[in-house]
Amino acid sequence: MIKKWFLLITLFLIVIISTYGQSLFENNITKPDSVKNRTIEFNGYARASAFGGTKLFDYSSVFGEFCLKSKLSKNRTFLYADLRFRKGLNFDKEYSDFQLKEVYAGYQSNQFDLFLGNQIVTWGRTDGFNPTNNITPNDYFFLTSDFDDQKLSNFMLRMKYRFTPVIEIELIGIPFYSPSVYRYDLFNINGNVIYDKAILPEKTFKNASAATRLNFEFPKIGFSVSYFRGYNPFSGFNVQSIDWSTGTPLITNAATAYLKNTGGLDFALPINSWIIRGEAAYNITENYDRNMYIPNPDISYVIGLEHCFLGITTIFQYVGKYTVDFSELSEPVLPNPSNTAAQMQYAENMIIYKSSIFNRKMFYQQEETNRAVTLSLNKDFFYDKCKIELSGYYNITSEELMIRPKITGKITDMLSASIGGSYMKGPKNSIFNYSAPVLSGFFTELKANF
């Protein structure tokens, strides 16, 4: 650990010396041709963030963080790094962490771009819900004032080719799978349930992911068509074992990745002061009838309207899903209550049944159609010194609700403070009902940029 921090501090000093040291001597030393076109840029921030007050945890996420972003470029090539140093408490447990948020090399020209390394790529044009975005994993339990902090990078080869200034094709190859981060163990669902480490695909060529997008950016409309083949960063869970050695069933579950193919499209259409946005994806899966962690094929879609009312930027969206080949799950029955073996088999069947229902709820496939609405409001005050945001989500099908207010104020040009909260509510045994004691709370943050 000491060596790691020593290397990181050394890297930071090298960047400082390279940036400022060069200017001290540039008047006395003639630059060689190899460095004449070289530029070094860096920026970042330091922040203190706290999220707490949940039902189960006083300190869900409390930490101090230093972020250094640097870019070394020469002519058309560059190196980019986003490094994060973090120490604090996460769900009442102390931790210290070094994160390579993004680190990659690139080449850019007027017609062709090439990037290789750990990158964050987000596809789609709608707000928050992006059915075509199947590339970026998330840490859903990293709680801060900004949802973008949850995005994780993938190691990938990414290429762009521009046929014209408004038409380009993007190709992405991901050699190995990076999953999203889940903490099912935090949910107080059942004391007899434990979660083992995730079941991930082997790091082989056949398990690599590939994606492509053809994007059009015309003055009056922007749209794209896309395709993804690979393992979904958002996975379900599977029952690994049921242990009866203590007389009471001990259930071991594990998040398990599954393969899918997705064809998608999205668009943004400005009409006067309105913007209409849409996005849809057709997800194709196999063996879903034999594995609870694999969702049925489905069609996911979002349609949204954006407009400014009295200075309030308003985004309203309708989020829907249609499940292909949907069928109701059959609840097990106990044929012979006096038979011990039949009782145990019935109990195991009920465990599988309830676990399958839970997976369907996570995939929003508990019914053939799933409908939800979102509303986002934000407005700047005091000459952009203060910003108030309010976002809400209501699932009509499952009757689940989430509300998230946030206020951000600029103390100086480089120092800002944020405060807000997250409130979740849902019927008994719903996903939000299990999540609320962990994820409903208040947050505050002080951030200094440089």
Nearest to 388 by CA among 356, 412, 420: 420
Instruction: For residue 292, report the phi and psi dihedrals to the nearest 5 degrees.
Output: -65, -25
Residue 366 lies in a domain: yes
Instruction: Tell me what pLDDT residue 186 has.
Output: 83
3-state secondary structure 366-399: CCCEEEEEEEEEEEEECCCCEEEEEEEEEECCCC
Instruction: Tell me what pLDDT residue 203 has.
Output: 94
Q: What DSSP letter does each residue of 175-220 carry, written as one string?
A: SS--PPB--GGGS-S-TTEEE---B---SSGGG-EEEEEEEEE-SS
User: For residue 15, what are the contacts with CB-CB under 8 A and spacing of at least 6?
Assistant: 40, 42, 68, 70
CATH number at residue 257: 2.40.160
Range of the domain at 334: 109-449
Residue 51 lies in a domain: no
At residue 8, the 3 state secondary structure works out as: helix
Instruction: For residue 321, report the phi and psi dihedrals to the nearest 5 degrees.
Output: -150, 135
Residue 294 lies in a domain: yes
Instruction: Tell me what pLDDT residue 35 has.
Output: 52
Residue 33 lies in a domain: no
Q: What is the mean pLDDT of each run of 10 residues along the chain (450 residues)?
A: 42 43 41 65 96 89 97 95 96 92 96 97 94 94 93 97 97 96 76 87 95 97 98 94 89 94 98 97 97 97 97 97 96 88 90 95 97 98 94 98 98 96 95 93 96
Contact assessment for residue 138 and residue 128, using Cβ atoms and an 8 Å cutoff: no
Residue 1 lies in a domain: no
Instruction: Tell me what pLDDT residue 178 has.
Output: 94
pTM (two decimals): 0.88
Number of domains present in the structure of the chain: 1
Instruction: Tell me what pLDDT residue 193 has.
Output: 87
Residue 21 lies in a domain: no
Sheet of 236-243: strands edge to edge? 193-195, 250-256, 236-243
From CA 111, how far away is CA 114, in angstroms rounded?
A: 11
Residue 91 lies in a domain: no
Torsion of CA 435, 236, 367, 354, to 10 degrees: -80
Residue 4 lies in a domain: no
